[in-house]
Each structure stands twice: as C-alpha cells, then as structure tokens.
Structure 1
Amino acid sequence: MKLIILDRDGVINEDSDAFVKNADEWIPIEGSIAAIARLSKAGFTVVVTTNQSGLGRGLFQESDLEAMHKKMHTMVKAAGGEIAAVVYCPHHPDDGCDCRKPKAGLITQIEQQFNTSAKGAITIGDSLRDLEAGLEKGCIPLLVKTGKGQKTLQKIIAEQKPDFHNLAVYNNLAAAANAIIQS
C-alpha cells in the first residue's frame, strides 16, 4: 500500500483562525481537489488526518463536520479520485488525549484501520504538529506553504530544527502531488 496522509485545514482547504465551522466555510485551496484525485489515480491510498478542536470547544457539531467531509469526498470523487478515510481528533487541546497532533494517535488509527505500518508513508502538512506526528511514526514529512506553512517554514529555519534539515517544501498540495507522482 502506498499511503499518503494529508492534513486538512491549510493543506486541502482554506484555514481560519476562527475555525472552519460548516460546509459553506469549507473552501478548497485552488488545485487541492485535483491533486488528491491525481494521487488516488496514481495508486496512492489517501487518508486525511485533522485536529478538530472546534468540536471540543462547542463551536460546531458532529453533523457540521460530517457535512464538511461529505463535501470534500464529493468534490474529490467528482474529480475522479478517492479519499480512503478521514481520521480526526475531536478533543479540546487541554483534554490530554493521544490523538491530537503532534501526538501520533491519528496515524496509529490509520495503521489499525488499514492493517499496515505508516513507516515510510508520506505525510503532508502546513504546521509543525502535522510534521511531528508523522516523524513519530517514521513517515516522510512534506511541508506546503499554504495555510500556516509559510510561518512554519520560518520557524523551522529560525530554530534550526535538526529533524527537518532535509525537509521538502512545496508551494501547495498540487505542487507536492506533482513531485510525488513524478518521483
């Protein structure tokens, strides 16, 4: 299985400091839906992992999250691709769960669901926590500059983080997908 793990907000869709709370606010980043479809058609199993603390904060309901994910699935399917699963952390940051990124609990759930190891899988994110969760499981992290990606890149450079010395950085998910498929 060729596994690719994508963060959602800031990678697939526009992020918001006020949280993406419903399907109307869920707006795909240009080229991201087509990129997922290309990855899927190229034989990758695409899985989305996302921290959704807005649930734990009471900002939206499970039904709102389901509607956002249905919209995402429908758009990817219309482009000829497939998202194999969406795994999310519903907890408030203070809950101390093991699934909130940068912890790797969401990736552990993927391993269990697909009866596979995520070691060597590609994980694409726009924040340090996305990349750290992947590293904990032996994934290959890629950073996109969309969402919080530009700030994350500046932080990695400023702090000279050794785990990210050879980090591949792409303008967006479409550019990352092109590079992955061509390699």
Structure 2
Amino acid sequence: MANATGRWAATPALVATAALALAGCGGDATHPRATAAPTPTPAPPTTTTTAHLVVDLDPAVTGRELLRLQRTGPEPGAHDLLKYGSDGSAVIVQAYGGGGERIRECTLRAGVLSKLRRHLDGLPLGPRHRAPEREYVSIYANGPARYTLVAGRHDTSFTDDTMPSDARPFVKLLEDTLYGRAADCETTYRSRVS
C-alpha cells in the first residue's frame, strides 16, 4: 500500500493476504511435501431414519369453533390464543417471545359452555371506552394488554383501557381457562421446559 511519500509499505493485512495466497498455491508434484492428504471417504447412509415430530402450532378445537380470543401483552412478547368449541372443547396456544411455546387441549367444566353461549348471544359488543391518558415512564414499561375477539361474523379489538363492559366476561373466561378454573387441560406440546 502506498504511504504518504508514495512508497509502498507492507501493512499487516497485506502481509497476511500474501502469506495466505502463497500457502494456497500448489506445489510441484515431485516435491515430497506436495502430496495432499487423502480425503476421507464419507460414511455410507444409515438405513434407519429419524422420525421428525410435526406439531400443529394452531390446532383446531374438536367441535365447531364458537369463539377465538387472543391476548397480546401486557408483558412484551406474551401472546395467548384461546379457542372454544361447540362441544365443550378448548385449545390454548401460549407463545412467549424467546420463552417458548406451549399448547394445551382442554375440556370445559360443567356450566361453562352454557355461560359462554349466553355471552355470545349478546354480541356485538358495546362501544369501547375512551382510553385514559398514560404517563410516559419508559419504553420498558408494560402497556395495556390488547385483545382480539372473533365469534362467527363478529370480530372486534380492544385494550385493557378501552374494553367495553360486555367484553369483561370474555376476558374473565380467558383468564379462568388459562388458570384452570374453567377447564381441565392437558399440555400436548411444549417447545421449551423452564
């Protein structure tokens, strides 16, 4: 590389590049050091195959889907999806950014399905509340949880702050299902064990 005087000076990068280029050059086949090491023969393929577990990350309920309720937050990366079937089945898909995923298949407890049907008869939801002003704390402060409710032709979204009054029973059902108060659940998949 040329320096300020116009003369070529060797830099460490230039020396390393030249050394690598010379080392990579082939030698004379008659020279004793020029013989290459034999390449290893690849092992023959084995006759046994490893079965790969295929996991449906969005499993369906066994009956007709009556309600799909999704909650994102309030913790960053937290995502809960609950689906309720007409036969009393439910599916919970919990995903936590970097913390793994868990899928549970559930059976609703006695009386829960009839209560759910009564709440569904009251759809569409009423008006959303006006969100209160929030004081900015930091980008690391948790915001309100966000919900998406889909039931037949009705779908709506709201946050903890703007939740319509008639949406509260659905959110309570979500929490009761998650915490085992409304359904008996079995974990069918877990991507990470804590």
Do both share a fold (TM > 0.5)?
no
| Greater fraction strand | 2
Greater share of helix: 1
What TM-score, normalized to structure 2?
0.22
**Greater length-normalized contact order (CA 8 Å, ≥ 6 residues apart):** 1
Which protein shows a greater Rg? Answer: 2
With normalisation by structure 1, the TM-score equals: 0.23
